[in-house]
Amino acid sequence: MDFASYAIDLVAVLLLALGMKGLAKVRTARSANGLAALAMGLAVVGLLLQLQPGPTAWLWIAAGTAAGGIAGLITAQRVPMTAMPETVALFNGCGGMASLLVALGVALFQNEQADLVARISIVISVFVGAITFSGSIVAMAKLQGWLDTPDWTQSSLRHGLNISLAVACLAAGLALPADPAGWPLWGLVLASTLLGIGVTLPIGGADMPVVISLLNSYSGVAAAAAGFVVGSQLLIVAGAMVGAAGLILTQVMCTAMNRSLVSVLFGGALGAKAGGSVGGGGDEAGYTRIVSCSPEECAMALESAERVVFVPGYGLAVAQAQHALRELAKLLEANGAEVTYAIHPVAGRMPGHMNVLLAEADVPYEQLVEMDTINPEFPRTDVVIVLGANDVVNPDAKTDPSSPLYGMPVLEVDQARQVFVVKRSLGAGYAGIANALFELPQTAMVFGDAKAVLQQLCTELRSQGVGTKTPVAA
C-alpha cells in the first residue's frame, strides 16, 4: 500500500508541475488548471491509501468533499470579475485554515506518534496558517469595502502591539514541541490569528496587490509544513512551489510600485484613507487646465488613427466594460488600425487582474503588452485611451521628486500624440494625488462610465462607416 501511495504521489507531482507550467499562458491556463486539480485529487487518494481511515472518517471525508465542491462550483459561477481579488484573498485564507486544521488534528489526536520534525512542522503550520487565514479575511473585507483602516493603526501603537504578539507566538512555538496538545497550541493559534489581523489591518488599498501575493506565498508555506505533518510528498512540493512563486511575485509587485516589502508591512499605509479600496476615490484635486471632450470627438480621432493603445485600469473592471472594449477594438481593427493593450503590473486590485479581465472578453493574448515592452512604442502611437487607470499613468512618477509616486515605473502614455482619459470624475487614484497627465495639452477627459462611453464610441464609429468598409491595405 505504501508503494501505491508513493507512486500516486509521484504522478501527482509530475501533473502538478505540468499544470503550473501551463498556467504561464492564457491559452493553456484552463487545461493546466484542470491538470493541477487532478494532481491534488490524486494526492488526496494517495494519502487516504496511506492512512486507511475508518468508516466514520470516510463519511466525514465524503461530506467535506461534497460541501467544498458545491461551494467552489457556486463561487466560480457567481463571482464577477470585479470581485476576483476578494475571492483570491478568501481562497488564500481557506488554504491557511486547511493547513491550520490539519496541524491541529495531528497535534490533538496523534501527538504521541509525531516525531520532532512533525512537531516542528506543526508549529510552522499553525503559525503561518493562522496568520494567512486572519490576514486574508481582513484583506477580503477591506477589498470588499466592509472594513476601513482604523486611525490608530497608523500610529506607532500598532508596532508595539504586533511585536508583543510576535513574542507571544515565539514563546508558544518554542513550548509547543514538548507539549503538542497543551496550552502552547491554543496560545499559538490565538496569538498568530491576532498577529495576522494586526499586520494586515493597517495596510492601505494601494498595497493590496502586494498583500495578496504575500498571503498567497504564506498559504504555500503553510501547506508545505502541513505536508511534513501528514507525510504528503505532493503537499510539500506544491506548498514549496506556491510559496516561492508568491515571494517572487511579491517582489515583482513591490518593484512595480516602487515600494519595499518592509514599507508595505511596517510603513505608512498608501491609500489607507480610501476605505481600503483600490483604483479610485478621494477628493478631486485642484486642476486648472482640464480639457474635456465628448465621445463623438473621441470617435473622430479614433476613426483616423493607425495605432491605438488601450490602458485598462480598475475602472474598466468596475464598469464591466471589457466586452464593450473588445467590440470597439474589433471595429478599429476592421478599419485598419493596429490595436494593443498596455498592461501595468499593478493595474487593478491584484496581480494579473487586467489580464484575466481581458481574457474573459477573448482579447488575443498577443495584444496584451507588458509595460517595459510598450513604453518605447508610445511616441509612435496616434491615440491612447486610458480606461479607469490613474496613478500608473501619472508622469510625475518620472519627473517630480516631491511626488509620492516618484521612482515608480509607469506607463509613459504622455509620449503619445493624443490621450483620452475615460473617468467618472477627476477623483484621485489610490495615492490620493493629482495626475499631471490630465493637464497635458494632448490629453482630453471623457467623463462617464467606461462601459457607456465605449458603447457610445462604437455607435459613433459605426455611424461613420467604420467596421463596414474594407480596410485599405498598407
Q: Helix 353-360 and helix 322-334: axis angle, to 10°?
A: 70
What pLDDT shows up at residue 371? 92
What is the Cα–Cα distance from 385 to 389, expressed in whole angstroms? 10
pLDDT in tens, 105-144: 888 887 766 778 888 899 999 999 999 999 999 989 888 8
276: DSSP letter: T
Q: Kindly state whether residues 242 and 331 are assigned to the same domain.
A: no
Q: What is the band of 311 on the pLDDT scale with cuts at 50, 70, 90?
A: very high
Q: What is the pLDDT of residue 272?
A: 44
Whether residue 186 is contained in a domain is answered as: yes
Q: How many residues does the chain have?
A: 474
The per-residue pLDDT for 441 is 94
Same domain, residue pair 247 and 323: no
pLDDT tier, 277 (very low <50, low <70, confident <90, very high otherwise): very low
13 within domain boundaries: no
> Is 209 found in the same domain as 103?
yes
For residues 397 and 403, the answer to whether their CB atoms sit within 8 Å is: yes
CA-closest candidate to residue 106, choices 92, 124, 93: 124
Percent of the chain with pLDDT over 90: 40
On the question of pLDDT at 314 being above 80, the answer is yes
DSSP 267: S
In this structure, the answer to whether residues 232 and 341 fall within a common structural domain is: no
How do strand 338-343 and strand 307-312 relate by DSSP bridges?
A: parallel
Least confident of 19-33, 259-273, 370-384, 399-413: 259-273
379 and 232: one domain?
no
Q: Rounded CA gap, 376 and 200, in Å? A: 37
From 239, 274, 309, give the residue that closes a domain: 274
Least confident segment among 169-178, 182-191, 205-214, 355-364? 205-214
What distance in Å separates the CA atoms of residue 320 and residue 125, rounded to the nearest whole number?
Answer: 39
Within this chain, do residues 87 and 160 fall inside the same structural domain, yes or no? Answer: yes
Contact 142, 199 (CB under 8 A): no
User: In which band, very low, low, confident or very high, does the pLDDT at 470 lie, cut at 50, 70 and 90?
Assistant: low
- For 310, the enclosing helix (H) or strand (E) is strand 307-312
Do 141 and 246 fall into the same domain? Answer: yes
Q: What angle, rounded to 10 degrees, do the helices at 116-144 and 84-109 form?
A: 150
Q: Judge whether 391 counts as a catalytic residue.
A: yes
Question: Are the CB atoms for 342 and 410 separated by under 8 Å?
Answer: no
Identify whether the C-beta of residue 86 lies closer than 8 Å to the C-beta of residue 140.
yes
Domain of residue 207: give its range.
79-274
Task: Give the CATH number, domain containing residue 422.
Answer: 3.40.50.1220
Q: What would the mean pLDDT of 302-318 be, rounded to a whole number?
A: 92
Say yes or no: 202 and 310 in one domain. no
Q: Are residues 424 and 315 in the same domain?
A: yes
Instruction: Give me the pLDDT at residue 267, please.
Output: 60
Query: Looking at the structure, do residues 235 and 330 belong to the same domain, yes or no?
Result: no
Task: Specify which of 135-144, 434-443, 465-474 reaches the highest per-range mean pLDDT.
Answer: 434-443
Structural domain includes residue 223: yes
Nine-digit cell string for 68: 467544498
Which of 221, 245, 274 delimits the end of a domain?
Answer: 274
Least confident of 66-80, 213-227, 278-292: 278-292
pLDDT score recorded for residue 274: 37
| % of the chain with per-residue pLDDT over 70 | 92
Q: Which of 98-102, 159-163, 351-355, 356-360 has the lowest mean pLDDT?
A: 351-355
Of 9, 207, 391, 414, the catalytic one is 391
Q: Is the domain of 319 the same as that of 267?
A: no
* Number of domains the chain contains: 2
Mean pLDDT of the chain: 85
Beta bridge partners of 312: 387
70 domain-assigned: no
67 located within any domain: no
Judgement on whether residues 209 and 302 belong to the same structural domain of the protein: no
Alpha-carbon distance 311 to 386, whole Å? 5
Residue 146 lies in a domain: yes
Within-domain flag for 14: no
Q: What is the pLDDT of residue 212?
A: 84
Note whether residue 360 is domain-resident.
yes
Tell me what pLDDT residue 271 has: 47
